[in-house]
């Protein structure tokens, strides 16, 4: 497919084959260029899934699920000002969402100021709130269904913004 696209574009570039890509993918370092904003970053954090080793949806629907269908989680940190993806982490489907947030924030350079981090309730953990506070950012994360007030000795117990209320004000924990 890539070779046909290059041919249509009249480009005489060499296209690596599948074996070459598989062999070199472990040592491949990808640099993602990003646009710098003149204000602090406002990050949106979420995850999605990617299926692989799949027989195809039609075959599974017609003949029943055969074999094991596998998928991986892709965790993304996106800047709201520029729709750039600033950090990416891949994890197995069995791993939770919250342990990945500190690693996502670690991919943002230390010199770049983060103003706000918005995420869903899966990231409402002490570890996530602490890593956001360590970057001097504001956390907007709704309380989990099973959430309860944190102890006062937790660094994230006070000042964590948990989301907007119906009247426009914000709910804070503690």
Residue 6 lies in a domain: no
With a pLDDT cut of 70, the percent of the chain lying above it is 76
Q: How far is CA 115 from the centre of its chain?
A: 17
Q: How many residues in total does the chain contain? A: 174
Question: What is 38-106 written as a DSSP string?
Answer: SS-EEEEEEEEEEEES---HHHHHHH---S--EEEEEEEEEESSS--EEEEEEEETTS-SGGGHHHHHH
Residues 110-134: what's their mean pLDDT?
Answer: 91
Residue 2 lies in a domain: no
Segments forming the whole domain that contains residue 55: 40-172
Residue 13 lies in a domain: no
58-112 pLDDT, tens digit each:
677 677 766 666 788 999 999 998 888 899 999 988 888 889 999 999 999 888 8
* 3-state secondary structure string across 51-70: EECCCCHHHHHHHCCCCCCE
Q: Which two tokens stand for residue 138?
A: 């504001």
CA dist., res. 111 & res. 151, Å (int): 32
Residue 138 lies in a domain: yes
Residue 109 lies in a domain: yes
Write the Ramachandran bin of 73: left for phi over 0, alpha for psi from -120 to 50, otherwise beta: beta
Q: What's this model's pTM, rounded to 2 decimal places?
A: 0.65
Residue 18 lies in a domain: no
Residue 15 lies in a domain: no
Residue 47 lies in a domain: yes
Q: Domain with 155 in it: what CATH number?
A: 3.30.420
**Residue 169: CB atoms within 10 Å:** 8
Query: How many domains is the chain built from?
Result: 1
């Amino acid at each position: 497919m890539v070779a046909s696209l290059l041919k249509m574009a009249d480009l005489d570039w060499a296209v690596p084959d599948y074996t070459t890509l598989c062999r070199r993918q472990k040592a491949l370092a990808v640099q993602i260029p990003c646009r710098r904003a003149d204000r602090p970053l406002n990050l949106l954090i979420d995850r999605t899934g990617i299926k692989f080793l799949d027989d195809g949806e039609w075959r599974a629907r017609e003949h029943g699920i055969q074999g094991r269908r596998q998928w991986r989680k892709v965790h993304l940190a996106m800047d709201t000002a520029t729709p750039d993806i600033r950090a990416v982490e891949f994890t197995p489907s069995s791993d939770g969402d919250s342990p990945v947030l500190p690693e996502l924030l670690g991919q943002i350079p230390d010199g770049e100021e983060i103003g706000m981090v918005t995420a869903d309730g899966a990231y409402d953990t002490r570890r996530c709130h602490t890593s956001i506070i360590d970057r001097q950012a504001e956390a907007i994360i709704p309380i989990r269904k099973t959430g309860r007030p944190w102890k006062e000795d937790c660094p994230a117990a006070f000042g964590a913004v948990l989301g907007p209320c119906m009247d426009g004000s914000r709910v804070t924990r503690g």
